[in-house]
Amino acid sequence: MNKPVLLTVDDDPGVSRAVARDLRRRYGEGHRVVRASSGKEALDALKELKLRGEQVAAMLADYRMPEMNGIEFLEQAMDLFPRARRALLTAYADTDAAIQAINLVDVDHYLLKPWDPPEEKLYPVVDALIETWRASGEAAVEEIKIVGHRWSAPTFAARDFLARNAVPYRYYSIDEPEGRRLLDAAAADPTEIPVVITAEGRPLLAPSDAEIAAAVGLTVDPATDFYDLIVVGGGPAGLGSAVYGASEGLRTVLVERQAAGGQAGQSSRIENYLGFPDGVSGTQLTDRARRQAVKFGAEMLTARDVVALEVQGSARVVRFGDGSTISAHAVILATGVSYRSLTAPGCHELTGRGVFYGSANTEAPECAGTDVYIVGGANSAGQAAVFFSRHARSVTLVVRGESLHTSMSHYLIQQLEAIENVHVRTRTTVGQACGDDHLESLRLDHADGTTEFVDTGHLFIFIGARPQTEWLDGVVQRDERGFVWTGPDLLNDGQRPAGWTLDRDPFYLESSVPGVFVAGDVRAQSVKRVASAVGEGAMAVTLVHRYLEEQ
């Protein structure tokens, strides 16, 4: 796979075998020789090599071939591998055509047939082709490739999904020559972006998260249909539950809709988490926790949307969006919260095209030398401001309140005050996002009634906390905002919740359904901090053990 390719094309089987034999004899140790019997077959092979990210060092094509001669083939092959060196195999009678090809089609050499002895007539030419190709600096691309457009929301979503799941990839824009070559090799058109190309060279046209996850090796299907513990949600609370559940002998599966880490996983820097005096990025913390859970035997399902929770006797059943289910003795709900949508006109239409929710760290390089705006006054917004200040010309925090002191940690406020290119606009809201195919400007509304328009291509939103618990309607008790009640908060004048079947009060983190526990931000009255979420995840597992002992 890592060896650069030497491609030969000849419709004469005898000549084809001879040139391949001679090339393998001299170059087989460091190169892979591929031969084709026609120009079309060779182009198909080149498209497959392009999708797999392989290198083509040189192409040798016979001049006289039916349907597509060697010059016509090399012209089309150049569109796929412009740095590969090119030579024509030709008879003496076709020398003039070969010279014309060198002058007009940028063919590097021509070889007369027969080329015996190859040490004098073949190898010196191929040596020169390979040396010239090496000087071009072309390298193989073995990771996942994404072809898309900067202002395509689906393209951003695919890149963000891979980045948050720690899957390395290389991005190509359809506005760049290599992006167009990959698009052509995949037989796709610009309306089908993003095109995700696996390491094996298989193109996926406008794939879903689940299709991407399966293609890149993430686990999407459960190993069995029954577990001791199902953890729904892969944020700090869910990861904490998975680590402690699996390490204590419970057959544990964690189900995550998008990527492990939740909102914390999108934080550019967490500096008040115990044990990390120099701070740690959300991605680093998440990756360590995920690997720790897997080490203890927890199963991690990605890109699975949970749509229902059902009680069937002693089993707790989780239903996925595709209708399939898994069951367990106990469930921990750790679905966290999501950022509230900004309802200002234009924001919905431009989401993923300049308007982003969360840090969207994949956009950092695009922010170089630009003016970035961030909406929100809590820690996540402050952390994003610190992060983007290293890339952008300026970062402006747009805050509805009077100051940051009521919503942001003191250490973070001090950091922001010390960064020259970070500015804070209090008593201000975003009134409108403007732009055609991408964000171009914002209308800022001030509390005194004045407005102004500012030019920007990047708006990052960190407002509010909304639990996505609609799928729990009629199953567990929630407050008016959707957060799940647990433990003592479920008791009404000492009365247990309706439908409660056990001769005891709910445990501290237990919901109104026995055996269904809640940890982290989705729990009503919880402390919205990473450390407390991890602690609740661990504590929930302890309570699961107590619940199982009763059964």
pLDDT tens digits, 441-473 = 999 999 999 999 999 999 999 997 789 999 999
pLDDT at 98: 66
Q: What pLDDT score does 94 carry?
A: 66
d(CA 307, CA 321): 6
DSSP 81-132: -TTSEEEEEE-GGGHHHHHHHHHHS---EEEESP--SHHHHTHHHHHHHHHH
Q: 491-500 burial by CB neighbour count: b if 16+ within 10 A, else e?
A: eeeeebbeeb
Q: Has residue 348 been placed in a domain?
A: no
**Cα three-residue angle 229-234-239, rounded to 5 degrees:** 65
Closest CA to 459 of 336, 349, 299: 349
- Phi, psi of 414, deg, nearest 5: -60, -40
With respect to residue 349, please indicate whether it lies within any of the assigned structural domains: no
Query: Which CATH number goes with the domain that contains 382?
Result: 3.50.50.60
DSSP per position, 12-53: -HHHHHHHHHHHHHHHTTT-EEEEESSHHHHHHHHHHHHHTT
Lowest mean pLDDT of 3-12, 41-50, 65-74, name the range: 65-74
Considering the domain architecture, whether residues 334 and 470 belong to the same structural domain is answered as yes
Give the pLDDT band (50/70/90) at residue 233: very high
Residue 350 lies in a domain: no
Q: What is d(CA 323, CA 435) in angstroms, rounded to the nearest whole number? A: 40
Residue 347 lies in a domain: no
Alpha-carbon radius of gyration of the chain: 30
At which of 461, 485, 509 does a domain end?
461
Q: Which two tokens stand for residue 547?
A: 């619940």
Q: Give residue 16's identity as a one-letter amino acid code.
A: S
What tokens does 507 get?
A: 């445990």
- 280 falls within a domain: yes
Residues 42, 187 within the same domain: no
Give dist(CA 65, CA 11) in Å, integer.
6
Tell me how many degrees the CA angle 202-206-207 measures, rounded to the nearest 5: 65
**pLDDT computed for residue 506 by the predictor:** 96
Q: Domain check: are 382 and 455 in the same one?
A: yes
Most confident range (mean pLDDT) of 80-89, 334-343, 514-523 is 514-523
SS3 category, 488: helix
Is residue 112 packed enough to be buried (19+ CB in 10 Å), middle (13-18) or exposed (0-12)?
A: middle
Q: In the numeric block, which tokens belong to residue 468?
A: 């996505």
Asked whether residue 286 falls in the same domain as residue 196, the answer is: no
Question: Which carries the bigger pLDDT value, residue 218 or residue 95?
Answer: 218
More confident residue, 301 or 259: 301
388-411 pLDDT, tens digit each: 999 999 999 999 999 999 889 999
Q: Average pLDDT, stretch 205-213? A: 94
Q: With 60 as the cut, is the pLDDT of residue 1 above it?
A: no
Query: Do 124 and 41 have their domain in common?
Result: yes
Confidence of residue 102 (pLDDT cuts 50, 70, 90): low
Q: Say yes or no to pLDDT of 111 above 70.
A: yes
Bridge partners of residue 236, in order along the sequence: none
| pLDDT band for position 496 (cuts 50, 70, 90) | very high
Model pLDDT for residues 128-144, shown as the tens digit of each residue = 999 989 887 776 667 89
Identify whether the C-beta of residue 282 lies closer than 8 Å to the C-beta of residue 261: yes
Same structural domain, 368 and 230: no
Do 162 and 279 belong to one domain?
no
Name the token pair of 522.
């989705």
Q: Among the three residues 461, 493, 509, which one is the final residue of a domain in this structure? A: 461
Q: Average pLDDT, stretch 491-504?
A: 90
For 310-315, the CB contacts below 8 A with 24+ separation are 310/475, 311/475, 311/513, 314/515, 314/551, 315/226
Query: What whole-number distance in Å separates Cα of residue 74 and Cα of residue 398?
Result: 56
Order of all β-strands in the sheet with 109-112: 32-36, 5-9, 56-62, 85-90, 109-112
Indicate which CATH number applies to the domain containing 183.
3.40.30.10
If asked whether residues 429 and 538 sit together in one domain, one would say: no
Q: Half-sphere exposure of 385 toward its Cβ, with a 13 Å CA cutoff?
A: 33
* Per-residue confidence (pLDDT) for residue 267, from 0 to 100: 75
pLDDT band at 263 (very low <50, low <70, confident <90, very high): confident
Q: Are strands 226-232 and 252-256 parallel, antiparallel or unpaired?
A: parallel
Instruction: For residues 330 and 474, state if they share a domain.
Output: yes
Q: Which residues contact 392 (CB under 8 A, 6 or more apart)?
A: 367, 368, 369, 370, 371, 372, 421, 458
Looking at residue 103, its pLDDT comes to 67
142: nearest Cα among 185, 186, 84, 201 = 201
Residue with tokens 């199902």: 230
The Cα–Cα gap between 137 and 478 comes to 60
Residue 410 within any structural domain of the chain? yes
Helix axis angle, 282-295 to 236-247, nearest 10°:
20
Q: Which domain covers residue 184, as residue numbers?
A: 144-215
Mean pLDDT for the stretch of residues 176-196: 94
Average pLDDT over residues 360-382: 90
- In the beta sheet, which residues pair with residue 107? none
Q: How confident is the model at residue 346 (pLDDT cuts 50, 70, 90)?
A: very high
- Residue 243 located in a structural domain: yes
Q: Note the pLDDT tens digit of each residue in 216-227.
A: 889 999 999 999
pLDDT at 114: 81
CATH of the domain at 47: 3.40.50.2300
Mean pLDDT of the chain: 91
User: Measured between alpha carbons, how far is 11 from 413 in angstroms, rounded to an integer?
Assistant: 72
Interior angle at CA 67, CA 64 and CA 73, nearest 5: 70
Confidence band (pLDDT; 50, 70, 90) for 264? Answer: confident
- Residue 80 domain flag: yes
pLDDT at 284 over 90: no
With beta carbons less than 8 A apart as the criterion, state whether 233 and 240 touch.
Answer: no
Same domain assignment for residues 129 and 273? no
Q: Say yes or no: 96 and 24 in one domain.
A: yes
Looking at the DSSP assignment, which residues form a beta bridge with residue 425?
A: 398
Which tens digit of pLDDT belongs to each residue from 412-427?
A: 999 999 999 999 999 9
Helices (H) and strands (E) in the chain, counts: 15, 24
Indicate whether 457 and 541 sit together in one domain.
no
Q: Which of 90, 108, 135 is the last residue of a domain?
A: 135
| pTM, full prediction | 0.80
Overall domain count for the chain: 4
Residue 358, pLDDT score? 83
